[in-house]
Amino acid sequence: MTNTAGLVEIRWHGRGGQGAVTSAELLAQAAINEGKYAQAFPAFGAERRGAPVVAFVRIDSDNPIRVRAEIDEPDVVVVLASDLLRVVNVSSGLKADGILVINTPKTADEIIKEFHYKWALATVDATRIARETLGVPIVNTAMVGALLKAAEVTKLDSLIEPLKHRFGRLADKNINAMQKAYEGTTVRGKSN
């Protein structure tokens, strides 16, 4: 799915402290900087670090976004922690032509065999990339790179300014993590 026109809805699944909410905000800011309409928001209660967290992003290249409800039928689902595949039905409501983007050291074929997914699937070992580039297993910026490889909802370069603004002196490491994940993401079943 390379959808650069119209409305794209993205749901992020992660664990508290992994940066799912930050990823959503950075992506929305990049889209806005490109002249698109965008919104990002989390859905969580009294979660603690490590608890499942969900965040949402809507990007529309044509029209202002008026709805602010949770996304039940996403175009893309991004999973920051592959152990959530056994805990949460991350593919719930995913459109038939949707894409799953998963942080895992496994191949797409291994994930499909294990979970019987029928959607296009993008996989990347974002944890390894984060450890190598950031020194910690915080995968949010790497997963933004993986998402952009799977579904070009913004340009990769459009994330540079939001990353610099958000991370300051750590921006270069986060930009590197994003770029490495973009290059290292494998997409299976993608139709352009």
3-state secondary structure of 154: coil
Convert the pLDDT of each residue in 50-63 to its tens digit. Answer: 788 999 999 999 99
**Position 53 in a domain:** yes
**Position 1 in a domain:** no
Contact 134, 173 (CB under 8 A): yes
Tally the domains of the chain: 1
**Position 124 in a domain:** yes
Return the amino acid letter for 73.
E
Convert the pLDDT of each residue in 106-133 to its tens digit. Answer: 999 999 999 999 999 999 999 999 999 9
Which CATH number covers residue 43? 3.40.920.10
pLDDT averaged over every residue in the chain: 92
